[in-house]
Amino acid sequence: MPAILDIRSDISRAMAFYNRSGRRAVKKAAAQALNRVTVTVWKIARQQIRKAAGGVIRISKIKQLMKIEIKARFPDKLHTRLSAYSLKDRGINLIEFVKKAQKNPSYWKTRSDKGKTKGSKQYRAGVTAKAWGVERTYRGTFIQYGRVGRESGAGGIGKALVFSGVPGNPKKVNFIFGPSVKMLFVSKTVLPVLYNVANIRWPIEFERALSFHVGFRKKRAAARSRKF
């Protein structure tokens, strides 16, 4: 993922105004401010990803797949990393976007005017889901119990999942996935918002942290001088 915020020039300009002890305060302030900005971006990213997915992905699910991997630390680690994960970039299994009443495999096998005949039974044309904010029927898909990794959003054994058949191989099926949290995170819909938030919050947080740490340093120096 590209860098959302570059703070090196701001730190360099701030350090030019202080002596050695003052520069320590600048680095402490930068680390503190950067961590606060990262947390803010993390929260906004969750909301924007949910919005980009049509409001179907739960915030709790996005939190599982988004982590602040690296936090800034004084004195030399003045960078952070916010990462999003998904199973091989494929996204969340489509079952997460199916209405609760329709998630049971038996529902897919009930009679439907738009269905197709398999033997003596008539099956639905496909699973209906609202993966991208628009409800539609994914033709050729069906629901059955199976297993898929936790990161895809419906992990474990014996979970109802959405599959499709593989032409020429009736014994093999493919998982059908909806939106990927990772891909939405770096999408043209979400990323510009995060750039904007980071660039607005950084100078505010940096100024607050710098005032605190420089003020604390001055108070400590004044206290020491009074002892003599």
Q: Would you say residue 2 lies in a domain?
A: no
- List the one residue out of 187, 152, 205, 178 whose CA is nearest residue 48: 187
Residues 69 and 115 in one domain: no
Residues 60 and 23 in one domain: yes
Q: Would you say residue 164 lies in a domain?
A: yes
pLDDT for residue 157 is more than 80 = no
Rounded to 10 degrees, what is the CA torsion of 16, 18, 22, 23? Answer: 10
Cα maximum dimension of the chain: 99
Amino acid at 189: T
Burial (Cβ within 10 Å: 0-12, 13-18, ≥19) of residue 76: exposed
**Mean pLDDT lowest among 21-30, 53-62, 151-160, 176-185:** 151-160
Residues 45 and 106 in one domain: no
Q: How far apart are CA 164 and CA 160, in angstroms?
A: 13
Residues 194 and 140 in one domain: no
Q: What is the pLDDT of residue 90?
A: 61
Q: Would you say residue 1 lies in a domain?
A: no
Residues 63 and 46 in one domain: yes
**Mean pLDDT lowest among 5-9, 11-15, 44-48, 148-152:** 148-152
- The conformation of residue 18, written as its DSSP 8-state character, comes to S
Cα dihedral 142, 145, 149, 152 sign: positive
pLDDT for residue 112 is more than 70 = no
Residues 102 and 131 in one domain: yes
- The conformation of residue 92, written as its DSSP 8-state character, comes to S
Q: What is the pLDDT of residues 85-107, one digit of tens each?
A: 765 556 778 888 888 888 877 77
Q: Would you say residue 56 lies in a domain?
A: yes
CB 129 within 8 A of CB 100: no
Out of 141, 161, 179, pick the residue that ends a domain.
179
Out of 143, 159, 179, pick the residue that ends a domain.
179
Please write down the long-range contacts of 196-202, taking CB distance under 8 Å and 24 or more positions apart: 197/40, 197/41, 197/44, 198/4, 198/5, 198/37, 198/40, 198/41, 199/5, 201/36, 201/37, 201/40, 201/41, 202/5, 202/7, 202/10, 202/33, 202/34, 202/37
Residues 100 and 165 in one domain: yes
Residues 74 and 121 in one domain: no
**Mean pLDDT lowest among 59-63, 70-74, 79-83, 166-170:** 166-170
At 42, the pLDDT band (50, 70, 90 cuts) reads very high
**Residues whose CB falls within 8 Å of the CB of residue 164, separated by 6 or more in sequence, listed in order:** 138, 140, 141, 142, 173, 174, 176
Residues 197 and 214 in one domain: yes
Residues 76 and 109 in one domain: no
Residues 67 and 28 in one domain: yes
Residues 70 and 82 in one domain: yes
Q: Would you say residue 196 lies in a domain?
A: yes
Identify the domain containing residue 112 by its residue range.
Answer: 94-179
Q: Find the mean pLDDT for residues 164-188.
A: 84
Q: What is the mean pLDDT of the chain?
A: 78
Q: How many domains does the chain have?
A: 2
